[in-house]
Amino acid sequence: MILNGPVETGIRLSPGPKDAAVKSVKLSMRDYALIVAATTGFTIVVLALVFALDYGNLTAQTNELVWLSVRNDILGPVLIGGPTFFYLFSKLRQLALTREALERLAFTDSLTGIFNRRAFHNAVEPVLLSDTPVAAAMLVIDVDHFKKVNDTFGHHTGDEALIAVTEAIKGCLREDEVFGRIGGEEFAVFTRSATAGLAALQAERLRAAVAAAEFSQTFLPTRLTVSIGVAFSDTAATYEQLYREADACLYEAKQTGRNRVVVAFRDRHSTFADTPSPAVSAA
């Protein structure tokens, strides 16, 4: 599973504003089955307790009174405890689902369904702060001329363009890579790479996938492209350090023509544009 958003929980949220969506959390058949099972279990426990407490009275009564007492001992927990437990467990389950829905809304970009900036940061930072440094790279991706898309075709088309770019990138990601939308038309990918060259090749795959996607047949008469800045580290590094370096490379990619990848090596930046990149090794 690609780490590009919170794990699916089976929650069904009605369309509309986020607060309305949370209020309209619905229980599934599986939820009701769990509630019925819990209700039955607790009702049986209560029955057992009632009979245990009433055992002395039952043994001292005649047969007729025993059956009357048994009936009362059964009907009380079943008629009163059963519905009460069912109601309580239903509310508890709804509260649990509402909490999951709030967490999902807090960490998911509502347009693309991938991690938002906060969730991306929270997924990446623990890896970088681990006791054992990992060889990893951050790719900061920006859609070229996106303002022109919004101004020319409208914000609805701009939203569709962002969704299309998201899908093109997701199709190239490995299962262990983290993907998020960290700004308006800005995305980021965190990948564990053995070398800066491998990170550069992955960035080039993403750039080429977006450039080759058939967007023109859907909503845009021209193709979409992205510029990508790549920062690599095989020593201890913070999220902020990697992001700043990748963002500087992205700025350079924008300034030197767009639709290209700029990679930060230890002593230089290297640029790849329009055609598949050659294999690159860290200097």
Residues identified as active-site: 185
Which amino acid is located at 49 in the chain? Answer: L
Query: Quick one: which of 173, 147, 141, 155 has its CA closest to 254?
Result: 141
How far, in whole angstroms, is CA 281 from its chain's centroid? 33
**Residues 90, 30: Cα–Cα separation, whole Å:** 12
Q: How far is CA 7 from CA 4, 177, 204, in A?
A: 9, 14, 28
**Residues 213, 224: Cα–Cα separation, whole Å:** 8
**Residues 8, 11: Cα–Cα separation, whole Å:** 8
**Residues 101, 22: Cα–Cα separation, whole Å:** 6
| 145 phi/psi in degrees, rounded to 5 | 55, 35
Range 203-235 burial, b when 16+ CB lie within 10 A, else e? bbbbbbbbbebebeeebbeeebbbbbbbbbbbe
